[in-house]
Amino acid sequence: MVDGNIRLLAAIMFTDMVGYTALMQEDEEKAIFLREKHRKILENTIPQYQGRILQYYGDGTLSIFGSAIEAVRCSIDIQNSFQTAPKIPVRIGIHIGDVVYEDDGVFGDGVNIASRIESLGIAGGVLISDKIHDEIKNHPEFQTISQGFFELKNVRRPIEIFSLMNKGLATPKQDELKLKTKTSFKSIAVLPFVNMSSDKENEFFSDGITEDLLNALSKVAGLQVTSRTSAFAFKGKNIDIREIGKQLAVSSVLEGSVRKVGNRVRITAQLINTIDGYHIWSESFDRELEDIFAVQDEISKRIANILREKLTTNELSQPLVKKYTSNINAYSVYLKGLYYWNKFTPEMTFKAIDMFNQVIQIEPEFPLSYARLSGCYTYLGAIGIMKPDIAYPRAKDLAYKALDMDKTLEDCHVAIGMVKLFYEWDFKGSEESLLKALEINPGYATAFLNYSMYLSGMHRLEEAKNFAEKAATLDPLSPVILDNYADTLMYNGNFEDANYYYQKTLELDPSFRNALYGIGWNYYYQGDLEKALQIFEKVINQLGHPLKGLTTYGYICAKLGLKEKVIEIIKKTKERELLEPETSMNMDFAVLYAGIEDWDNVFIYLEKAFIEKSGGLLFLWSLIYKKIHNTERFKNLLKRIGLEYNLQD
């Protein structure tokens, strides 16, 4: 106590009603009523969590708590109370730090930071600082997601801001926080390194170098790294660095070139500020190919330490790039396999499988090849190109071999997570594996994508949307990730936003049929069957095959009462099943029979799908099966699968 002032360390919470001034101009009586309700809820709730309201200011409040955990619990309780009619649009920000009492009010850096964090929020949401997150991260009752590092006004250090994702809370959409402040602090995109070798076959080698650098940097705490797909969208394009920075919302870009001659390689790298286009750092590295891992690690550390200089005074000492093999031939073939795998088509996946198998023959102790190979088989099984009883056992065997070799590799845990999800139906174990991957690499967009898919399968739809959004933030130009984000928006009833992201996906890749399917289902969910039919008919025309793409079209025909057309489509689907014995059609039949409400046949094919463990069984909560959701046969099927969610009419 100095000069009558009181200083203490506390969790500081700011609340603020969104749009209060505008509401006062439109409806003063309603605005005053909501403000009083806002205050009453706070006055009743905050003391229950050992908190105290210190100050009212217009339509907002400042409160303090002796515990960060109690402050966060209180914020969740408050937001849930604000959702009862009439709803009160309130944003909340929480930080932990010093506060100083004076006669004229409450002051201190902690107060300023909490206030700045609150101002970035959205109605119905709670934002917390990194210090609060450190206090609550080991408490499973809280679900959070990092929004990145931000430079706040009059705050000396960059602050990592997290959104609470507990049920009932709103989280900012992609880039909403960035629009209110400067670009996420110390964020970077690694652009594809240019192949300067005379042999164009070395293209895969330069791409592989790029990807390894990207993966290494994504493991550095404090750096936000744009994922591969978005960075590679600029390959071969002459676009101003400042424009790239704007599109990817990053403050810096790493670009360079690779020249491979015989057994030597020259790598040139340059780090550029996207605000003004000026070079921050550049250097060339001439090495023997046997030193390639050391060169990658050296470049990654140089860049990471340059970007981290304002975050910490300590330089990185641990290696960022692991050396799994000394055999440069094995590594080169692996990079080629990665090149094919990243094309995300069945044809290229089979080529990737061939490459990864070659790597294993050359270097049996290369865990990345096993993990990637597992992912290939899971992908082929999930899309029905390979029957699950063939694809999934292979994926399982490979994933566990990879994990035995290196338990610290995030790709191994992703592979295991997807095997447990689709093949073993070990849903708890799947979640643990996917969260472990995110723990190892918090900037891994693929892990966020896969965890979002898992959550959708578990009917945890709001959480699925939140994690899909994080993946889209890390990889904003990935068709796969944007399409999944659109799916989760549709599942949550955000049809307009879903359509926007489906369209954005098609802008990136007009041939991406999943987005077209999504647009059709989006119309279906809104009750516009005619438009849905038009979209699914367009899919059939694009495929150009008399027996493919008929299932969704047939289902909508059934809903429109065109039963004869559905019967014809069922016959064609049976014909395809005979012609393509390697393809699983059981879920297709289930959907078609659900359309004409032939529930006995629906259960016959769902049982067949159960025996082969079809991935479509994870989405039985769909409206397609709504009329049987409350039947004992359906509940029994869910129980046998191991799904525990309850579906309400």
Query: Quick check: 55 pLDDT over 50?
Result: yes
pLDDT at 600 over 80: yes
Is residue 612 pLDDT above 70, yes or no? Answer: yes
* Mean pLDDT score across all residues of the chain: 83
Q: What mean pLDDT do residues 310-332 have? A: 56
- Residue 181: per-residue pLDDT: 52
Q: Which CATH architecture has domain 6-180?
A: 2-Layer Sandwich (3.30)
- Whether 6-180 shares its CATH topology with 187-323 is answered no
Tell me what pLDDT residue 626 has: 93
Domain boundaries, the chain: 6-180, 187-323, 548-649
Q: What pLDDT does 110 receive?
A: 81
Q: What is the pTM of this model?
A: 0.66
User: Which pair of structure tokens corresponds to residue 44?
Assistant: 């009743």
CA angle 598, 603, 607 (to 5 degrees): 150
Among left, alpha and beta (phi > 0; psi -120 to 50; other), residue 124 is: left
Q: 245 and 274 in contact (C-beta within 8 Å)?
A: yes
Residue 587 has pLDDT above 50, yes or no: yes
Q: How confident is the model at residue 179 (pLDDT cuts 50, 70, 90)?
A: very low
Query: pLDDT (tens digit, 9 = 90+) per residue, 112-132?
Result: 888 888 888 888 999 999 889
CA-CA distance, 82 to 77, in Å (whole number)? Answer: 9
| Higher-scoring residue by pLDDT: 104, 147 | 147
- Which range is least confidently modeled, 58-62, 254-258, 447-451, 630-634? 58-62
475-496: average pLDDT: 90
Collapsed DSSP state (helix, strand, coil) of residue 531: helix
pLDDT tens-digit series, residues 425-468 = 999 999 999 999 998 888 888 899 999 999 999 999 999 998 99
**Contact indicator for 336, 369 with CB cutoff of 8 Å:** no
* pLDDT at res. 1: 38
Give the whole-number percent of the chain exceeding pLDDT 90. 38
Determine which of 81-90, 322-331, 467-476, 575-584 has the lowest per-residue pLDDT on average: 322-331
Higher pLDDT, 79 or 319: 79
pLDDT of residue 77 exceeding 90, the answer is yes
pLDDT at residue 370, as a whole number? 94
pLDDT value, residue 565: 93
Predicted confidence (pLDDT) at residue 346 exceeds the cutoff of 80: no
* Residue-level pLDDT at 102: 64
Q: What is the pLDDT of residues 564-576, one digit of tens each?
A: 999 999 999 999 9
Each residue of 181-200: pLDDT tens digit? 544 446 788 888 888 877 76
Q: What is the pLDDT of residues 299-317, one digit of tens each?
A: 766 666 665 553 333 444 5
Residue 314, pLDDT score: 45
Which pLDDT score is estimated for 325? 62
Give me the percent of the chain exceeding a pLDDT of 70: 85
Q: Indicate the burial class of 523 (C-beta count within 10 angstroms; 0-12, 13-18, 19 or more).
A: buried
| 381-415: pLDDT as tens digits | 877 778 888 999 999 999 999 999 999 888 899 99
Distance CA(174)–CA(613), nearest Å, equals 35
Report pLDDT digits (tens) over 613-633: 888 899 999 999 999 999 999
386: Cα within 13 Å, side-chain hemisphere: 17
Given a contact cutoff of 8 angstroms between Cβ atoms, the answer to whether 376 and 406 are in contact is: no
Q: In this structure, are residues 414 and 437 in contact, taking their beta carbons and an 8 Å threshold?
A: yes
Model confidence at 224: pLDDT above 80? no
Mean pLDDT over residues 211-231, rounded? 74
CATH 2.40.30.170, applies to 187-323: no
Give 4-28 as a DSSP string: TBEEEEEEEEEEEETTHHHHHHH-H
Q: Residue 168's pLDDT is what?
A: 85
CA separation for the pair 234, 230 (Å, rounded) = 8
The confidence score (pLDDT) of residue 638 equals 94
Residue-wise pLDDT for 16-44, tens only, equals: 888 766 676 677 788 788 888 888 999 99
Note the pLDDT of residue 509: 80
